[in-house]
């Protein structure tokens, strides 16, 4: 459904209480007493990406961390983002999730903004600063694939950005130890909204060598784009 009219949120809440909750009261009573999600879903804030629908999941199954362009801050970089990292730490250490999924998607506004980040920062400084964590990926694509069509560059950026976050996650010791002990499954997804397809990339994926190259020059890319 594509919304054209202003939704009546109060009416929707009332319907939830009267219909959904009333018919599934026992489920919600049990849900209140337990919180045992099996998966940490790190996704874009984009409203078109709905993990419960993608996984066909019920409430209580998926712990979520959402932000612009599904970015995970790296542990070693000075400008830390404790809100994002605390969600990952809590999911791994306290909730002991079995999976961490980073999900990128088609037509991602954040990735599109990375293609013109300097101009974007002037208009949306907070969002631009957050997105700058992934600018090295955009710059890498320009350097390595100068003749690629812009639309194809954006798709590649959307995919590489998702896979890059797996490497970023592995900079945290509490994640790295669980992955190496095979207690956590670490994957990146690319969700094509129009086609309804999801591509799955493991940490050691077809993009792993590219991610290593991007990471090795990451600091220079970031420094050059902070001017």
| pLDDT, tens digit, 9 for 90 and up, residues 108-123 | 999 999 999 999 999 9
Taking the domains of the chain in order of start, what are their residue ranges? 37-224
The CATH architecture one would assign to domain 37-224 is 3-Layer(aba) Sandwich (3.40)
Q: Quick one: how far is CA 163 from the chain centroid? A: 10
pLDDT value of residue 227: 47
- As a whole number, mean pLDDT of residues 118-144 equals 94
Q: What is the mean pLDDT of the chain?
A: 92
Give the Cα separation of 220 and 172 in Å (integer).
22
Which residues partner with 66 through β-bridges? 43
| pLDDT, tens digit, 9 for 90 and up, residues 147-165 | 999 999 999 999 999 999 9
Q: What is the DSSP letter of 187?
A: E
Tokens (6 digits) for 144: 């390595």
Q: What is the pTM of this model?
A: 0.90
Residue 27, CA distances (Å) to 56, 60, 163 in order: 17, 11, 36
Q: For residue 199, give the H/E element and its range.
A: strand 197-202
Give the Cα separation of 123 and 132 in Å (integer).
14
């Amino acid at each position: 459904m594509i919304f054209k009219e202003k939704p009546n949120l109060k009416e929707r809440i009332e319907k939830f209480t009267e219909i959904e909750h009333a018919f599934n009261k026992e489920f919600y009573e049990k849900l209140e007493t337990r919180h045992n999600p099996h998966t940490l879903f790190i996704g874009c804030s984009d409203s078109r990406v709905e993990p419960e629908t993608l996984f066909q999941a019920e409430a209580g199954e998926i712990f979520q961390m959402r932000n612009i362009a599904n970015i995970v801050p790296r542990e070693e970089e000075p400008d830390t983002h404790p809100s994002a990292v605390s969600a990952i730490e809590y999911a791994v250490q306290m909730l002991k999730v079995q999976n961490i999924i980073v999900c990128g998607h088609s037509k991602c506004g954040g990735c599109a903004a990375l293609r013109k980040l300097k101009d974007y920062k002037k208009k949306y400084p907070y969002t631009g600063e957050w997105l700058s964590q992934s600018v090295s990926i955009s710059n890498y694509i320009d350097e390595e694939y100068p003749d690629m069509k812009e639309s194809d560059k954006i798709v590649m950026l959307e995919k590489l950005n998702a896979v890059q976050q797996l490497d970023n996650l592995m900079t945290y010791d509490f994640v790295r130890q669980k992955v190496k002990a095979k207690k956590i499954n670490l994957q990146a997804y690319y969700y094509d909204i129009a086609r309804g397809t999801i591509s799955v990339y493991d940490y050691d994926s077809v993009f792993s060598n590219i991610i290593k190259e991007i990471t090795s020059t990451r600091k220079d890319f970031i420094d050059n784009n902070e001017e």
